[in-house]
Amino acid sequence: MNTQASNAASPERGSPPSDVARLATCDSFIIGSDDRILVTGATGFVGPRVVGCLLDRGFRNLVCFARPSSDLARIEASSNCRPLGARVEVLKGNLLSREDCEAACKDVAVIFHLAAGTGEKSFPDAFMNSAVTTRNLLDASLHCARLRRFVLVSSFAVYSNRQKSRLLEESCPIEEHPELRGEAYCFAKVRQEQILTEYGRSFGVPYVVVRPGSVYGPGKDGIIGRVGIGAFGIFVHLGGSNTIPLTYVDNCAEAIVLAGLVKGVESEVFNVVDDDLPSSREFLRLYKENVGHFKAVYLPHAASHALCYLWEKYSQWSNGQLPPIFTRRRWYAYWRKTRYSNQKLKARLGWTPKMPTAEGLRQSFQDRGRGRTYA
Amino acid sequence: MLKVAIVGCGKIADAHASHIQRMDGCEIVGVCDRESLMAKQLYERFRVKRYFTDPTELLSQARPHVVHITTPPESHFDIARLCLEHGCHVYVEKPFTLCAEQAQRLVDLAYEKELKLTVGHNDQFSHVARRMRALVETGYLGGPPVHMESYYGYDLGDPRYARSLLGDRGHWVRRLPGKLLHNLISHGIARIAEFLTSDAPHVIAYGFVSPLLKGINESEIVDELRVIICEEERTTAYFTFSSQMRPSIHEFRIYGPKNGLVLDQDHDILIQLRGEKLKSYADKFVPPVLFAKQHLENLIKNARLFLASDFHMDSGMKYLIESFYRSISENAAVPIPYGEILRTARIMDTIFGQLRVGWSQAHWAFPTHPAPPEINERCAAVHSRTILASDS
């Protein structure tokens, strides 16, 4: 493991500490401004924003865990604005190494665990980089007497979305047989959450689970699968009038940070979606207007459900000649008409989305630039 | 019922498990990985009977007839030897072992124990590869091969992917004698080795680090390789491995004294190259029609296989596993002759030996300035050592 950067003694930039220090010592938080905080996945899309958000709130002792091959530009940008006296340490290592996990967890009070394997096609890869790494981190955290909370950043992907109501909230069931959805990410995330709750039950690890919807913002390309998918040069629009559960990257980071700090939310789960969510159709229209036009064909819900059913059956009949990537379980999870709620997040954590959706989309599209298509 | 076990529950183990479960007359009685969570996930998803974290426990408790070893290459030899000593037949994923000497010891042990071994060179058993082999066996080439060309492309993709694969200084690929090449080239080398006869053909290798990898400060991982293989001034072959060449192809060309064949692995296409020339302008107009006809025939063959649900992405693996199991149950010949496995290992040893010495780079990079005599001597010494070691 390499310690890449230690900023305690270097000249600081950014705002003076008076206001933020007050925020950090807020009575409703479980830790003080000098307590050590670990952020894994710190060089990903959301991680640097979490680091930035913690610094904004006056926390001065951060450890960012990153793979040896990670690009540190984003995290350096976040920590450049650190307040006076703040220390941002970058540990380079691999969460598959128990020694690296032990080093990362040393003396930490809160762990924000954002690192995960996307492994779109490979179940073992996704599982190893999500579930095994989480288990290693949890094992290491058991040796950490100061640990006050373990925040796992999960995903909406864990929900089966087969509840009677159209409303998806935290109490909705998660996928019972994630191995049958044909989605490695879902399998890994469900198992990751199960490992966490098991450690909470067996070893008393204090934890909170955060399940963001689709995180978007400048720096993230492409159109999410809930809107549609590209196939043979044509974009198949599957979302139709469905609401898309977007959360702007800064809003999401804020929710994650609050989930790690606010008192009295142990063992809770929080869904993260913004207000004023667009429909899939509105999203696509705005995307085409702002980023670039492309040909899209709308597939009605009944047709997409039927196609998923046929694909699933053919996959079974042909012994996987076509892999079961389109299944009814997947259809329910991503393309069923669903409403989303952030009431619990607002009520229990005092979260409000600082970036309005309209402005967030505008900034996001602007970043992608004109003339590009969905690919 | 043939009882099967899998040791190593990573990415490739999924393919093994799914093929085994599609086959009649066998069942997976246990899976094993030193990481218990990895063993458990495979056990859960494929509804296997039991999972283990210790290969010895797997062998003594599940008592499999065959073990598939799908661990990283460093452990192939030790686990394969353990399985053979426990009386199990062994299917080892590629690369078979870290060196030819280990390969030889496994083969000797298999003979001693009267057990069977094979290696996961499944590309050689795809539908199109089997069609090619059948044509060669009918004498289409008109005699032994005169020349072969084997291309093996590997798309490292964008620099982000290369960084994640190669940025980890502790990655197991770096510990292999041939590093990245060691994990990848055996498929392409084995295609050539299949049609050679001598134990240790002459090998001249040249490799270098591509500009893509140099651009991300990588200086150890050779990802461009060119090899000349020569057998007793009778049969020659070129092997090309490239991460940068586009299209990134997997192709094999074989030319005999009469005709030739081109096997396109990526598209499952086999093209026959007729040695006879047509007269005058007929040679300009008739062959394109004949090639078009061959492509159409390939299309029809592929479509038929797909409609018959026998066109899985890695169908060669299923055929190889079935052939291996048949060789066990019927006590017949193994699908990949041991001589071919050993020849492949020896060629790879020689390539990696030459790359380590660096003679190839010095000689080829500056063709107008011959390599200094001491470098040539060093290379010759290593080359002869390698051949002697192989012969022994």
How confident is residue A2, by pLDDT bands cut at 50, 70 and 90? low
Residue A87 belongs to some domain of the structure: yes
How confident is residue B215, by pLDDT bands cut at 50, 70 and 90? confident
Which residues, listed in sequence order, are joined to residue A153 by a DSSP beta bridge? A210
Convert the pLDDT of each residue in A229-243 to its tens digit: 988 888 999 999 999
ipTM: 0.88
Residue B56 belongs to some domain of the structure: yes
Claim to verify: residue B164 and residue B93 sit in the same structural domain: no
Select from B56, B44, B61, B60 the least CA-distant residue to B7: B56
Averaged confidence pLDDT in chain B: 90
Cβ neighbours of B166 in A, within 8 Å? 69
Convert the pLDDT of each residue in A139-190 to its tens digit: 999 998 899 999 999 999 999 999 999 999 999 999 999 999 999 999 999 9
How confident is residue A70, by pLDDT bands cut at 50, 70 and 90? confident
Residue B359 belongs to some domain of the structure: no
Position B246 scores a pLDDT of 94
Q: A331 with A305: CB under 8 angstroms?
A: yes
Convert the pLDDT of each residue in A182-197 to its tens digit: 999 999 999 999 999 9
Determine, for residues B167 and A67 on separate chains, whether the beta-carbon distance falls below 8 Å. yes
Give the mean pLDDT of A85-94: 90
Read out DSSP for B299-344? HHHHHHHHHTT---TTHHHHHHHHHHHHHHHTT---SS-HHHHHHH
Say whether pLDDT at A330 is over 70.
yes
Cα B349 to its chain centre, rounded Å, is 14
Claim to verify: residue B204 and residue B66 sit in the same structural domain: no
Q: A114 with A44: CB under 8 angstroms?
A: yes
CATH of residue B250's domain is 3.30.360.10
SS (H, E, C) chain A: CEEEECCCCCCCCCCCCHHHHHHHCCCCECCCCCCEEEEECCCCCCHHHHHHHHHHCCCCEEEEEECCCCCCHHHHHHHCCCCCCCEEEEEECCCCCHHHHHHHHCCEEEEEECCCCCCCCCHHHHHHHHHHHHHHHHHHHHCCCCCCEEEEECCHHHECCCCCCCEECCCCCECCCHHHCCCHHHHHHHHHHHHHHHHHHHHCCCEEEEEECEEECCCCCCCCCCCEEEECCEEEECCCCCECCEEEHHHHHHHHHHHHHECCCCCCEEEECCCCCCEHHHHHHHHHHHCCCCCEEECCHHHHHHHHHHHHHHHHHCCCCCCCCCCHHHHHHHHCCCEECCHHHHHHHCCCCCCCHHHHHHHHHHHHCCCCCCC
Q: Using DSSP, how many helices (H) and how many strands (E) does chain B show?
A: 16, 13
Q: Which two tokens stand for residue A247?
A: 């959360």
| B306 close to A (CB below 8 A) | yes
Claim to verify: residue B151 and residue B292 sit in the same structural domain: yes
Read out DSSP for B124-192? GGSHHHHHHHHHHHTTTTSSS-SEEEEEEE----SHHHHHHHHS-TT-HHHHSTTHHHHHHTHHHHHHH
Position A345 scores a pLDDT of 97
CATH of residue A71's domain is 3.40.50.720
Q: Which residue has the higher pLDDT, B155 or B90?
A: B90
Residue A342 belongs to some domain of the structure: yes
Averaged confidence pLDDT in chain A: 89
| A125 close to B (CB below 8 A) | yes
* Distance (Å, whole) CA B131 – CA B315: 14
Structural domains of chain A, count:
1
Interface test with B, best of A1, A67, A69, A192 (most B CBs within 10 A): A69
Position A69 scores a pLDDT of 74
What percent of chain B has pLDDT above 90? Answer: 81
Instruction: With residue B117 as reference, give the H or E element that holds it.
Output: strand B117-119
How confident is residue B389, by pLDDT bands cut at 50, 70 and 90? very low
* Distance (Å, whole) CA A63 – CA B163: 23
Select from B23, B343, A107 the least CA-distant residue to B351: B343
Proportion of chain B in helix, strand, coil states, percent, rounded to 5: 50, 20, 35
Task: Please give the residue of chain B at the shortest CA–CA distance from A117.
Answer: B164
Cis geometry, peptide bond prior to residue B201 (ω within 30 degrees of 0)? no
CA B313, B317, B321, B323: dihedral to nearest 10 degrees?
A: 100
Of B281, B315, B349, the one marking the end of a domain is B315
How confident is residue B156, by pLDDT bands cut at 50, 70 and 90? confident
Say whether pLDDT at A52 is over 90.
yes
Position B211 scores a pLDDT of 92
| B164 close to A (CB below 8 A) | yes
Q: B74 with B50: CB under 8 angstroms?
A: no
Say whether pLDDT at A277 is over 80.
yes
Which 8-state DSSP code applies to residue B66?
A: E
Position A73 scores a pLDDT of 77
CA A178, A184, A189, A190: dihedral to nearest 10 degrees?
A: 10
Say whether pLDDT at B74 is over 50.
yes
| A179 close to B (CB below 8 A) | yes
Interface test with A, best of B41, B47, B171, B305 (most A CBs within 10 A): B41
Claim to verify: residue B206 and residue B187 sit in the same structural domain: yes
Convert the pLDDT of each residue in A103-116 to its tens digit: 999 999 999 999 98
Claim to verify: residue B147 and residue B280 sit in the same structural domain: yes
- Neighbour tally for A323: CB within 10 Å: 13
Residue A326 belongs to some domain of the structure: no
Give the mean pLDDT of A18-37: 73
Position B165 scores a pLDDT of 66
Of B121, B141, B159, the one marking the end of a domain is B121
Cis geometry, peptide bond prior to residue B95 (ω within 30 degrees of 0)? yes
For residue B357, the SS3 value is: helix
* Distance (Å, whole) CA A293 – CA A287: 8
Say whether pLDDT at B17 is over 90.
yes
Residue A209 belongs to some domain of the structure: yes
Claim to verify: residue B113 and residue B140 sit in the same structural domain: no
For residue B253, the SS3 value is: strand
Claim to verify: residue B190 and residue B49 sit in the same structural domain: no
Angle between helices A301-317 and A328-335 (to 10 degrees): 150
Amino acid at residue number A224: I
Rounded to the nearest 5 degrees, what angle is found at the Cα of A89, between the Cα atoms of A87 and A91? Answer: 170
Task: Please give the residue of chain A at the shortest CA–CA distance from B311.
Answer: A321
Residue A49 belongs to some domain of the structure: yes
How confident is residue B369, by pLDDT bands cut at 50, 70 and 90? very low
Position A81 scores a pLDDT of 66
* Distance (Å, whole) CA A84 – CA A26: 18
How confident is residue B162, by pLDDT bands cut at 50, 70 and 90? low
Structural domains of chain B, count:
2
Note the pTM of the prediction, 2 decimals.
0.89
Give the mean pLDDT of B17-27: 95
Residue A198 belongs to some domain of the structure: yes
Residue A82 belongs to some domain of the structure: yes
Claim to verify: residue B172 and residue B85 sit in the same structural domain: no
Q: Which residue has the higher pLDDT, A23 or A215?
A: A215
Say whether pLDDT at B378 is over 70.
no
Residue B64 belongs to some domain of the structure: yes
Claim to verify: residue B87 and residue B40 sit in the same structural domain: yes
Task: Please give the residue of chain B at the shortest CA–CA distance from A92.
Answer: B168
Determine, for residues B312 and A69 on separate chains, whether the beta-carbon distance falls below 8 Å. no
Min Cα–Cα distance to chain A from B316, Å: 13
Determine, for residues B37 and A122 on separate chains, whether the beta-carbon distance falls below 8 Å. no
Min Cα–Cα distance to chain A from B295, Å: 22
* Distance (Å, whole) CA A74 – CA A87: 16
Phi, psi of A116 (to 5 degrees): -160, 160
Q: Which residue has the higher pLDDT, A55 or B169?
A: A55
How confident is residue B159, by pLDDT bands cut at 50, 70 and 90? low
How confident is residue B168, by pLDDT bands cut at 50, 70 and 90? confident
Residue A301 belongs to some domain of the structure: no
* Distance (Å, whole) CA B273 – CA B148: 13
Q: Which two tokens stand for residue A263?
A: 């008192």
Q: A230 with A248: CB under 8 angstroms?
A: no
Claim to verify: residue B57 and residue B131 sit in the same structural domain: no
Residue B75 belongs to some domain of the structure: yes
Determine, for residues A69 and B166 on separate chains, whether the beta-carbon distance falls below 8 Å. yes
Claim to verify: residue B170 and residue B202 sit in the same structural domain: yes
Position B222 scores a pLDDT of 94
Position B173 scores a pLDDT of 86
Position A115 scores a pLDDT of 92
Residue whose structure tokens are 């409303």: A167
Give me the domain span that covers residue A23.
2-8+16-218+245-276+338-355
Min Cα–Cα distance to chain A from B66, Å: 22
Q: B354 with B205: CB under 8 angstroms?
A: yes
* Distance (Å, whole) CA B326 – CA B319: 10
Rg for chain B, CA atoms, rounded? 22
Interface test with B, best of A2, A97, A127 (most B CBs within 10 A): A127
Q: Which two tokens stand for residue A363?
A: 């900034």
Residue B367 belongs to some domain of the structure: no
Residue whose structure tokens are 């078009």: B292
Residue B351 belongs to some domain of the structure: no
How confident is residue A16, by pLDDT bands cut at 50, 70 and 90? very low
Claim to verify: residue B129 and residue B107 sit in the same structural domain: no
For residue B92, the SS3 value is: strand
Say whether pLDDT at B160 is over 90.
no
Of B315, B340, B364, the one marking the end of a domain is B315
For residue B216, the SS3 value is: coil
Min Cα–Cα distance to chain A from B254, Å: 30
Give the mean pLDDT of B37-42: 98
Which 8-state DSSP code applies to residue B248?
A: -
Which residues, listed in sequence order, are joined to residue A270 by a DSSP beta bridge? A210
Give me the domain span that covers residue B176.
124-315
Position A1 scores a pLDDT of 56
| B163 close to A (CB below 8 A) | yes
Cα A4 to its chain centre, rounded Å, is 25
Say whether pLDDT at B371 is over 50.
no
Task: Determine which of A58-72, A259-273, B121-135, B196-210 has the lowest per-residue pLDDT on average.
Answer: A58-72
Residue B360 belongs to some domain of the structure: no
